[in-house]
Structure formats: C-alpha cells, structure tokens
A and B are shown apart, each in its own frame.
Chain A
Amino acid sequence: MPRIGIFICHCGSNIAGTVDIEKSIEAARGFPGVVHVDEYRYLCSELGQDLIKKAIEEHNLDRVVVGTCSPRMHEVTFRKAVTEAGLNPYLLEVANIREHCSWVHKDIEKATPKAIALLRAAAAKAALNDPLVAPSVEVEKRALVIGGGIAGIQAALDIAEAGYIVDVVEREPSIGGRMAQLEKTFPTLDCSACILTPKMVEVAQHPNVSLLTYSEVEEVKGFVGQFDVKIKQKARYVDPVKCTGCGICYEKCPAKTPSEFEMGLAKRKAIYVPFPQAVPNIPVIDRDACLYFRKGRCQICAQECPPQAIDYEQQDQIIERRYGAIIVATGFDQMNPSHYGEYGYGQHPDILTGLEFERLFNASGPTGGKVVRLSDGKPPKKVVFIQCVGSRDKARGMNYCSKICCMYTAKQAILLKEKVPDAKSYVFYIDVRTAGKGYEEFQRRAAEEYDVAYLRGQVGKIFPESDHLMVHGVDSLSGKTIEIKADMVVLAVASVARADAPEVGRLVGINSDSYNFFNEAHPKLKPVETHTAGIFIAGACQAPKDIPETVAQASAAAVKVVGLLSKDMLQGEACTAEVNQAECSGCLYCEAVCPYSAISPVEIEERYHGGTLKRTVVEVNPTLCHGCGSCTVVCRSGTINLKGFSNEQILAEVDAICLQR
C-alpha cells in the first residue's frame, strides 16, 4: 500500500475564497492510501516547499499530491521539491483546483465537492505512479543547413559566429538562391547582388562553415542531438582544388542549353557557373548537355583548361555525417501560369513572369541589362502588370496571397521608368497589400512619382494582335472596361512550394500544409520549430515571404540551433509510450499515426508449440517519442501505454471522480 501525502494550497484567497479548505482536508483524510494531509497559504513559497519535504521525511511518504494551481505553473517547482526530499519526481501528482475549480466557480458549496473530487482523482492516480527516468542523449556539436539561399546563408553565418561547425548543402552549383536572381530589392532599391555577394563570400570563407554545393541530402536518420545524414555530392567533373575559376572552359565550350538561372531566357554552356558572382566559382559539367558525355567527342574544356582541372572520371560522392540539429531552408518556386489560357503565357515571347522580367534589368542577364521586348528587341513603351496570377485563386491556383507581388511589381514599374523613361506601366490589382516597414510609402511613390497607373480590376484576356498585345481589362472603381495596346505583359505569378517539397519533408521527417509549405510547430509562438525536435525551418519553404522576413526567420532558427548545440546532453521525455510486445498484434496503426516517427516495426521470435514463430510487432524509440499518446488511442489490443499516463492510471482517476467511494 502506498503512503500518500496530500497538501492543499490556499493560494491566498485564490483557492481558499471559493473552496472550503477545512472540508477538503477532512475528505482527503479518508482517501485510500492517504497517511498525511496538510495545508498552507502559499505552497509554492520556500516555506511551503519545506513543509512538503519535512512531511516526506517524517511520515515516510512515497507519493505526494498537491492541490494547487495548474501543473503548467508549478509542477516543475514541486517536482524539484520532492526530488530534494529523495523521491522520484514522477511520484508527484498535481490536482489543479485553481484554474479547473476555484477560478471558474463562484459558489463555495459547489466548488468544494469538485475540488475534493479532483483531489481524490489525483490521489488515485498517484497510487499507481511509477518512478520514471528521462533518457539523456549526447549532442553532436555540428549543424546542417539544407539550402544555400539567403535563409541558409544567414542561418549558417549566425551558427558559425556562435562558434559551432555548420555544413550548408546546396543543390545548385552555387549558393545564392532566388535572391541572386534579383536585380534590386524593395523598398530601398539597393542592388541585390551588392548586399548578397559579400554574405556569400563570408559564409564560404568562414572557418566554421563547409559548403557542400551541387549536393543533395539523401537520407536523414536518428533524432535530435544525433541526426545521421547521408549527403550526395554530385560529380562536378572539375577538380575544385586545381580549378582557378579562370572561365576559359565555359568560354570555349561549344554546347549550349537553356540557363536555369536566367529562367530559360538565355543559354548557358554545358560546362558553366550559373552566374558571374557564383560561390564557389568552380564550374560544373552538365552531363545532359555535354557533347563528350552525350556523344563521346569534344573534350575541348579539358584541352583548354590551364591547370588541367577537368576530370571526366569524377564520381558522385556519398558523405555521411552526424549532426545535432538541422535547418531546412529550401526556398520556393514560381508557379508556371501556362494553364491560365487567357493570359497566353508560353504562347508569346512578350508575356513574362515577374522573375523573368526581373532578369531583363540585370547587366549579366539575357538582354545585357537592356529592358527590351524579346520578340523584336525594342524597348516596351506600354507594360501591363497583372497581379494575383495564381494567388488568391481557389479555382485554378492557390488560395493564399503570395505576399511579395504587390511590392515587387511596384519595384519593377519604378525600375522600368528609370530604364525606359517614356514607358508607361499599368498595374491591374485586386487589392494592394503593402504591410511592412516603408512598403506603403514605396508603392505610393510608384503611383505618384513614377506615373504608374493602378487599375483596380483584373484582366479578362490577352489577345496577341500583330506587333502588340491587346489587353482586355476592367477598372472596377470607375466601372469602365479597358483595352490597352500593350508591348509587354508581366504576370505576378504565385509563389509556390518547391515541387519536391513533400519528398524533402518525408526525407527529413517534417510535415507540410495543403500547399506543401513546411509546417511550423506553432503559427505564432513556434515559428521556426517543427514538430520534429531538432529540425527547424527558415525562409520561403514555410510560406511566401520577402527577404527581411526570411533573414529574421533564419536568424531565429540559428538561435534555436545554437541553444540546442550549447548543451552537452539533452534530457529526453520521461513520459513516453511503451509497448507490451507479447500482446502487440502488429497492425502498425500506431506507426501510421505517430507524428514523430518514433514507432517502427520489428520482427521477433516467439516460442510456439515447441517451435519458434516469427512475427512483426512494434517498438518505440523513447528518444524520438514526445509522449503525445496518439498511439495509445489507436492501439487495437490496448497494449501501448504512455508512461505516467497509463490506461490504468487514467481509469483510476475517472473511477475516483465518478464513484463517491
């Protein structure tokens, strides 16, 4: 029989004002197993805690129930107190008679029996409490950042500056991401490369950072503190040690293919760096475009390379490393608007997406920085911008607002006016959304100082006619339909999750929303955490966002990683699921519902009628388990129990509440 002590807190008048303490004590004395009952004005005070500690010693208590405020408030305090008196902390039970009782009731006659019932339930559960020990995990002091855009770069720099080793894995041959494709950035119009390139160089040269470009994560195993990751470093066919970055190879290469960096508007060579400021400045050979790999002839790059860095025999490498924490910063894509037949994207060279138009401003872009029509090379005099192409569209697009388009459209209209002073811009919009520091002012400048005509309405259809695009739209404010003989149309297409985001999510073990953006653990209070401990997210892989927000989120994720890596050991969760394998039927329902991938099937051998029988059951990895209890609910044979919240314990509580005696 356990020896339970019950301690009731007055919490000033917070509890005592609505709960009759005397009556409660009287009742508690009669609970099974209770050998000692006491009360105190403020149990959480030092004197209150001493009272409990002394009682444990004097009365040889092996279970303690406190009738106090919510366990969210002081469970930790009282667990510490009982530990100091020599008890396992999980032998303490809290009856919440403040938030669950005194605060929500006025009538002392009714609140008192309820408080007694809550105390009786807690005592019944405490009688069944087992001592629990939380597992501890050693922390690998190294972080992995997946994605080398501005989010990944910022996060890596912050982690490195805090003194920890960090690896950045980037799929493309260079870091830089989307920001590297931009000409200028709103609302200050500073040149994107001018502010990004120094960061790219800094991260590449930082002694704590290793860049793994042209690489992809293949496998993630393990758990917080000890993620075992396989990374495939794709063959560049260029020896990075010998290569001087002189560029003769891609100058001489005869094979051309559309450039991904230029959104297909220009060609690149088969051996290439994606853009002039690429980091690292080491070319790669695109096997699918290379004449030597395709036809076995050419090798001009190898012949021309002064340090003889070309190596056609190079193989993909698999790198296996352990990391304590991971940041996912894999960015976003543009929606392809071809399915909006009325806009004719892909059918006419002068109908562009926002990012394609952006490249026309860039000095190293497809037009050498001249803003001209791709159809005839003439500067456009009338440009129509269409907002919300694929955003806020539940019929053919995405339900959400892509957030950045209003601002980059205003930016592009301003830049256009600077490059082509006699150009006129028309912006068809549904709502102008410019929440952000200096944003509204910026957009107003476009309308007021740069002669950009904002038309509240949408475009019905674009009809290509001889040398122009006839845009049929409407201005709903004046109630007039509008036809514009445009030279160029720019579609502000939706920002969407990367096509392979669900795959990446599965690979690292984090989940996504219905649009395939990665889910944060809490929409307000845990914006960079995921539901998987030790894995964090930053940037536009979580939702469409602009550069300042991305950078802020990256730094936030870095702080979380640094906090984690600063610990030598991590205390795991003591209240984890455990399975009685003898009763497990191997249905694997629990594996399917576990949000933390903590449950896995395992084959066991059993003796059966003299022979042995192999069958599948599950096992729980206690370091991955968060104790959410989902598995216990779906378990068909009722054989998974959550430690500290076992079926027996919960039923005992229910019985104690329902049965008066």
Chain B
Amino acid sequence: MRYRYFPGCTLKGQAKSMEDTAMAAAAALGIELIELDEWQCCGAVYPLYEDELISLLSPVRTLAAAAGEPLVSLCSACHHVLKRAQELMQRNQDARHKVTDFLEVEYSGEGRVLHFLEVLRDDLGFDKLTEMIKKPLEGRKVAAYYGCLLLRPSKVMQFDDPENPTIMEDLLKTLGAEVVKSPYRTECCGAYLSVTEEGVASDTVARIIDSARQAGAEALITACPLCRYNLENCSREDGKEPIKVYYFSELLAEAMGLPGESTGADGSKEEVAQR
C-alpha cells in the first residue's frame, strides 16, 4: 500500500506527536507514506467564496504534486481543504483553468484524497488491524471526538455519516478500548474562535467535555490539532477530574506496542489537560 503523504504545518510543529505515532504505526502496518518533496501550508481553512482563487493555489499545487497517486493527510483541516479543493476542481471548470494556468500545472481533479483513518478503515481494514494489536487498551474508557472538518459537508467529504459517524468508535473498538459514545462528539469545538473569542470556544468546549464525562469517558481522541488545543486549553476550571485528549494515532501506536509518547497540542509534554 503506497500513498503520497501531505503533513501540513502543524504536524511539523505543535502536533509532531500525531505525525510520529502515525508514521510508526503506518510503517508497522505496511502502509508506505511518502512525504511530498515540496509542500506548503494548505491554508487551514477552505475558501467559501468561489472567487477566492488565491487561497486555492496551495492546495491545488499539493493535489497536482501527488500526480494521481492517493494522497493522505493526518490533520482534519488539511484533509478538509484538500478534499474540497479537489471537488471544486472537478466541478468548476473556470476556477480550474484559472488556478492551474496560474500555477502552470496540469490538474483536473484526479486522484484519491484520503484521511489516514480512511486508509485504516477502507484500504487496510479494521479486521486486519486487529491482528496487529499487541497491547489492547483494556479498561480504558475512551470517547471519539469528531468535530466538523472530517464530516461536513458530507456530500463532499463522504467520510462517514455526518450525524452518526462510527469510524473512530470502530477504531477504538479495534484497539481494545471501552468505547464511550458522547452525544456532543460531532459538535464544533469553536475552531479558530479561540484566537479571537476565547470565551465562545470555552462554552463549546465545556459542553463537549461535560457530555463526554457524563457518558463516562476518561479520555477523548481527535484527529485535529486545533480541536485538541481547544479541548485542552479552552476548558474552564470546574474542579472536576480532567479528561485526557489524545490524537487517534497516539492510541493506535500505543495499542500496537510501538514506542512514542503523548504530548500536548502545544508540543509540551503535559500528559493531562489543565482543567
């Protein structure tokens, strides 16, 4: 199984542990992730106005660089931007001509654009993954937190059921964890509002964490560095037991018995979120 890999900027910075653990797991699973030779930031948010072509240059350049090979990313935001940019290139001929002419590349929307979770589910298969689990996460009560970018808009992302997704729970089950289903697992964490409107993000995060805690979770997994940052840094002090937040790949590597340690979304070695 051979894929081109787009890391994105956060995975070389604050979210290095997501990359390290995912790469280790991929190698052990025989999934070859070949990093693109030259890449630049995807832009982090997909431009929602169709004349914002300048913001498409970077993702389209990345898509073209994959040269038709399946393109994998780990960060939800990168995957979201790449997948939607690809959909626009398929759908809007005018935008495609303008962007590819400017970049002087040939690209017309070809190639699979995948999140690493999809590779595990669809290409490898969770059945196959089960065989590779050496240290199952027995007794660990873990809830999945999906957030927005993997799921919506579902017509484009085609990742999972947008309201009742199962892919992360299925992964957790495979890893041997005790799966906890939290009702707020697809609600937004506040995204970039933590930069300008921290109070708003605190409200959304409080709901997500309370809901997970009520459901009995001791830890959450996510595939998005910003979600993790918000969940760890925007929650209010409430005197309750803090909840751990992991990248999905960290628990994957752990269950596979691979070395690696969890770091906070800010790169610090704090194991437990400050609550």
Direct contact between the two chains A and B in their complex (CB within 8 A): yes
Looking at the assembled complex, report how far the CB atom of B268 sits from the nearest CB atom of chain A, in whole angstroms: 32
Residues 208-233 of B, flagged 1 when their CB comes within 8 A of A and 0 if not, give 00010010000000000000000000
A464 CA to B214 CA in the complex, in Å? 11
Which residues of chain A are within 8 angstroms of B163 by Cβ–Cβ distance?
340-342, 461
Which residues of chain B are within 8 angstroms of A461 by Cβ–Cβ distance?
163
Looking at the assembled complex, report how far the CB atom of A142 sits from the nearest CB atom of chain B, in whole angstroms: 52
Which residues of chain A are within 8 angstroms of B242 by Cβ–Cβ distance?
none
- Beta-carbon contact of A465 and B162 below 8 Å: no
Interface contacts beyond A341-B163, A463-B183: sample of 16 additional A-B pairs, CB < 8 Å, sorted by A: A340-B163, A341-B161, A341-B162, A341-B164, A342-B163, A344-B164, A347-B164, A461-B163, A463-B184, A463-B211, A464-B183, A465-B183, A465-B211, A465-B214, A466-B214, A470-B183
Which residues of chain B are within 8 angstroms of A341 by Cβ–Cβ distance?
161-164
Interface pairs A-B: 6 shortest CB-CB: A341-B163, A463-B183, A341-B164, A342-B163, A464-B183, A341-B161
How many chain A residues touch the partner (CB < 8 A)?
11
Question: What is the number of contacts between chain A and chain B, taking CB atoms within 8 Å?
Answer: 18
Can you give 18 contacting A-B residue pairs, CB < 8 Å? A340-B163, A341-B161, A341-B162, A341-B163, A341-B164, A342-B163, A344-B164, A347-B164, A461-B163, A463-B183, A463-B184, A463-B211, A464-B183, A465-B183, A465-B211, A465-B214, A466-B214, A470-B183
A342 CA to B214 CA in the complex, in Å? 20
A463 CA to B215 CA in the complex, in Å? 12
Looking at the assembled complex, report how far the CB atom of A375 sits from the nearest CB atom of chain B, in whole angstroms: 15
Within 8 A of A (CB), among B163-196: 163-164, 183-184
A340 CA to B211 CA in the complex, in Å? 21
Looking at the assembled complex, report how far the CB atom of B11 sits from the nearest CB atom of chain A, in whole angstroms: 30
A470 CA to B214 CA in the complex, in Å? 13
A461 CA to B162 CA in the complex, in Å? 12
Closest to B210 in A: A465
Which residues of chain A are within 8 angstroms of B211 by Cβ–Cβ distance?
463, 465
Within 8 A of B (CB), among A435-494: 461, 463-466, 470
Chain A interface, DSSP helix/strand/loop, else mixed: mixed
Looking at the assembled complex, report how far the CB atom of B187 sits from the nearest CB atom of chain A, in whole angstroms: 8
Closest to B163 in A: A341
Within 8 A of B (CB), among A332-355: 340-342, 344, 347
Within 8 A of A (CB), among B142-178: 161-164
A441 CA to B161 CA in the complex, in Å? 42
Residue of B161, B162, B183, B184 contacting most chain A CB atoms (<10 Å)? B183
B contact set with A: CB distance below 8 Å: 161-164, 183-184, 211, 214
Which residues of chain B are within 8 angstroms of A463 by Cβ–Cβ distance?
183-184, 211
A466 CA to B214 CA in the complex, in Å? 8
Which residues of chain A are within 8 angstroms of B164 by Cβ–Cβ distance?
341, 344, 347
A465 CA to B183 CA in the complex, in Å? 8
Which residues of chain B are within 8 angstroms of A470 by Cβ–Cβ distance?
183
A470 CA to B162 CA in the complex, in Å? 19
A615 CA to B183 CA in the complex, in Å? 67
Which residues of chain A are within 8 angstroms of B184 by Cβ–Cβ distance?
463
Looking at the assembled complex, report how far the CB atom of A614 sits from the nearest CB atom of chain B, in whole angstroms: 50
Looking at the assembled complex, report how far the CB atom of A96 sits from the nearest CB atom of chain B, in whole angstroms: 51
A340 CA to B164 CA in the complex, in Å? 10
A342 CA to B183 CA in the complex, in Å? 10
Which residues of chain A are within 8 angstroms of B214 by Cβ–Cβ distance?
465-466
Closest to A463 in B: B183
A514 CA to B162 CA in the complex, in Å? 27
Looking at the assembled complex, report how far the CB atom of B203 sits from the nearest CB atom of chain A, in whole angstroms: 12
Which residues of chain B are within 8 angstroms of A465 by Cβ–Cβ distance?
183, 211, 214
Closest to A464 in B: B183
A341 CA to B186 CA in the complex, in Å? 11
Closest to B154 in A: A341
A463 CA to B183 CA in the complex, in Å? 6
Closest to A469 in B: B183
A465 CA to B184 CA in the complex, in Å? 10
Closest to A343 in B: B163
A470 CA to B184 CA in the complex, in Å? 11
Closest to A470 in B: B183
A618 CA to B183 CA in the complex, in Å? 63
Looking at the assembled complex, report how far the CB atom of A574 sits from the nearest CB atom of chain B, in whole angstroms: 54
Which residues of chain A are within 8 angstroms of B161 by Cβ–Cβ distance?
341
A464 CA to B215 CA in the complex, in Å? 10
Looking at the assembled complex, report how far the CB atom of A454 sits from the nearest CB atom of chain B, in whole angstroms: 26
Looking at the assembled complex, report how far the CB atom of A165 sits from the nearest CB atom of chain B, in whole angstroms: 53
Looking at the assembled complex, report how far the CB atom of A341 sits from the nearest CB atom of chain B, in whole angstroms: 2
Looking at the assembled complex, report how far the CB atom of A116 sits from the nearest CB atom of chain B, in whole angstroms: 56
A464 CA to B183 CA in the complex, in Å? 7
Closest to B182 in A: A463
Looking at the assembled complex, report how far the CB atom of B199 sits from the nearest CB atom of chain A, in whole angstroms: 17
A470 CA to B182 CA in the complex, in Å? 13
Looking at the assembled complex, report how far the CB atom of B26 sits from the nearest CB atom of chain A, in whole angstroms: 31
Which residues of chain B are within 8 angstroms of A342 by Cβ–Cβ distance?
163
Which residues of chain A are within 8 angstroms of B162 by Cβ–Cβ distance?
341
Closest to A342 in B: B163
Looking at the assembled complex, report how far the CB atom of A566 sits from the nearest CB atom of chain B, in whole angstroms: 56
Looking at the assembled complex, report how far the CB atom of A336 sits from the nearest CB atom of chain B, in whole angstroms: 15
A464 CA to B184 CA in the complex, in Å? 10
Closest to A460 in B: B187
Looking at the assembled complex, report how far the CB atom of B216 sits from the nearest CB atom of chain A, in whole angstroms: 11
A347 CA to B161 CA in the complex, in Å? 14
Closest to B183 in A: A463
A461 CA to B183 CA in the complex, in Å? 10
A470 CA to B187 CA in the complex, in Å? 14
Residue of B164, B184, B214 contacting most chain A CB atoms (<10 Å)? B164
Which residues of chain A are within 8 angstroms of B183 by Cβ–Cβ distance?
463-465, 470
Residue of A340, A341, A470 contacting most chain B CB atoms (<10 Å)? A341
A461 CA to B164 CA in the complex, in Å? 12
Within 8 A of B (CB), among A348-392: none
Looking at the assembled complex, report how far the CB atom of A280 sits from the nearest CB atom of chain B, in whole angstroms: 43
A340 CA to B163 CA in the complex, in Å? 8
A341 CA to B184 CA in the complex, in Å? 13
A605 CA to B161 CA in the complex, in Å? 59
Closest to B162 in A: A341
Looking at the assembled complex, report how far the CB atom of B266 sits from the nearest CB atom of chain A, in whole angstroms: 30
Looking at the assembled complex, report how far the CB atom of A264 sits from the nearest CB atom of chain B, in whole angstroms: 20
A463 CA to B162 CA in the complex, in Å? 15
Within 8 A of B (CB), among A309-345: 340-342, 344
A341 CA to B160 CA in the complex, in Å? 12
Looking at the assembled complex, report how far the CB atom of A71 sits from the nearest CB atom of chain B, in whole angstroms: 53
A344 CA to B186 CA in the complex, in Å? 13
A525 CA to B184 CA in the complex, in Å? 53
Closest to A466 in B: B214
Residues 181-193 of A, flagged 1 when their CB comes within 8 A of B and 0 if not, give 0000000000000
A466 CA to B162 CA in the complex, in Å? 23
